[in-house]
Amino acid sequence: MRLLDGRSMAADIGRSVVDDVERLAATGVTPTLAVVLPTADEAARSYVRVIERGAAKVGVGCAVHELTGDPDELTATVDRLAADPAVHGMIVQTPLPDGLTAADVGARIPVGKDVDGMNPLSLGRLALGLPAFAPATAAAVLEILNRAAVPLAGARACVIGRSSVVGKPAALLLLAEDATVTVCHSRTKDLATVAHDADIVVAAVGRPKMVGAGHVRPGAVVIDVGTNWTDVGLVGDVDADAVAPVAGALTPVPGGVGPVTTMLLLRNTVRAAGG
């Protein structure tokens, strides 16, 4: 079984991002990402610190805006950053204040600055095959598969999870690569049998160790998007110990999709700045 090391892939992406940042710096441009933290949620704060560290390594400016949980303050901040020409990329962390949805807030982010695909227009453009930034986690799934040289054209892919953040955009990205995609969810009958037919299984359901050996055909590639905190620490949606003897390749948790996601946010910011 091949372990798909997201940390080494992220480091490789980071080296190319540094080159692009240096080219932009020669023109007087510093790619800048604005991160909006709407509430005092510790998990969100922790992730933002990861983004800050990654940005510092590659030379991307990262401005964190910590808010009080007031909906009006959030919309005003997003509108201000959207109009600021010095800001090239924007992300808004969840959870959001009561009364606001991700679609409400995302619609206020210009598509050109929407480096995490939060604007519904970005998802619509993705569905139509038009230029747009995909949600970074979904894009990380494809990045890992491509860097691992996994054949996608004609492959059968099963995406477990239908969120607008991962499942749906990951399915669209796989379709764009000519994979045959099945999207499964909580109401899918006989999920294990459906998943077992796939060459590629993407687990993005948010339930610890839900995907076991019975979901995976011998030699299948398994991408574990899950990040679930349990009594034993951080685990994925895949029971790695059970699946490893069966799968042909597997992303670890931690160290798989997560590092690639962070670096793609920064790469998107550089591209939004013209890099």
Identify the CA nearest to 75 among candidates 94, 93, 98, 100: 100
Instruction: Tell whether 162 is in a known binding site.
Output: yes
Instruction: Tell whether 163 is in a known binding site.
Output: yes
Instruction: Indicate if the alpha-carbon torsion angle 230, 171, 112, 268 is positive or negative.
Output: positive
Q: Residue 227: what residue type?
A: T
Parallel, antiparallel or unpaired: strands 200-203 and 221-224: parallel
Is the distance from CB of 97 to CB of 74 less than 8 angstroms? yes
Q: Residue 160: what residue type?
A: I
DSSP string, 197-233: T-SEEEE-S--TT-B-GGG--TT-EEEE---EEETTE
Q: How far is CA 7 from the centre of its chain?
A: 14
Instruction: Tell whether 77 is in a known binding site.
Output: no
Sheet holding 249-250, edge to edge: 2-3, 249-250, 221-224, 200-203, 156-160, 180-184
d(CA 17, CA 215): 37
Is the distance from CB of 158 to CB of 198 less than 8 angstroms? yes
* Binding site as annotated, residues: 161-163, 227
Residues in binding site for NADP(+): 161-163, 227
